[in-house]
Amino acid sequence: MDIVTVASRVLVELAIPCEKQGLRVFEGFTVGFHPRSWEIVYNGMTQLGFEKSHHEFSFETEPSHVALYMTAIASLSNLVQKPTVKVFPEHGLEVRLSGSGANGSPPTTLSPTMLMVDWRCEKAQDTPYEVEITIPVESYAPIQFTLTKMCEHRQNEGGNTTRGWAVFGVISCVFIVSSILFCCGGFVYKTRVKNLRGLDALPGMTFLSACLETPLGNIRLLLLKEQAEQVKEHMVRFEPLAFCRSSPFLVL
């Protein structure tokens, strides 16, 4: 029996709807979690896991922000425009974009732009929130990818902590300035009114001297007691010898 081998070829045609004229893929554009990585978008195409909502690719509740880095070919970087964001469902997760990437700065391979996604859970739910980020590109199809965020509990506003530190800083500055003015005023008063000089003219030196005098006085008393005990022991030790020498009835 003869076996005949026939070579065959299969052609696959892909049809992409083009509602607008122009190129579809913005080659050379990347988005990743590191300036030299492309986990989300590589060569203008969204990678698997970020093209739609995936529970296994979702972020936990605790991180309040995530940094994304964008790069593009230098000759085409000016085509990148400001990104936009949509949240599904619309209520329950507050999302804000910041950084050089949010301002529309052109990204390049040598100087990537950073897109900071700040999100805060306002309402807890079992299913993750979908954060769809769209980056328009002139004469190209927009680049879209989806980040998912879990909200197991409600998160407090980070601004409260910042505001608390700001109030603490203002109070500290007021206290320092008031202390300096008080010291200067006290020094001038003691030098001109009480005719004091040197360290004695500094405010609070009387109180400080009294505080130092107390432990020093206790130390002096202890030293005097030890010296008195030593003298007493010395006198007791030599009293019998003196008595023996002065007694006329002592027979050797």
The ranges assigned to domains in the chain are 30-155, 160-246
Instruction: Please give the Cα distance from 4 to 25 (Å, whole number).
Output: 44
pLDDT computed for residue 225 by the predictor = 63
Is the pLDDT at 233 greater than 60, yes or no?
yes
**CA atoms of 240 and 252, how far apart (whole Å):** 16
Is 50 exceeded by the pLDDT of residue 251? no
pLDDT at 139: 86
What distance in Å separates the CA atoms of residue 186 and residue 199, rounded to the nearest whole number?
Answer: 12
User: What whole-number distance in Å separates Cα of residue 117 and Cα of residue 147?
Assistant: 10
Nearest to 35 by CA among 117, 112, 108, 101: 112
What number is the average pLDDT over the span 150-173?
73
Q: Is the pLDDT of residue 36 over 60?
A: yes
Q: Is the pLDDT of residue 246 over 90?
A: no
Higher-pLDDT residue of 39, 237: 39
DSSP codes of every residue in 176-237 = HHHHHHHHHHHHHHHHHTS---GGGGSTTHHHHHHHHHHHHHHHHHHHHHHHHHHHHHHHHH
pLDDT of residue 132 exceeding 60: yes
> What Rg do the C-alpha atoms of the chain give, in angstroms?
42
Architecture of the 30-155 domain: Sandwich (2.60)
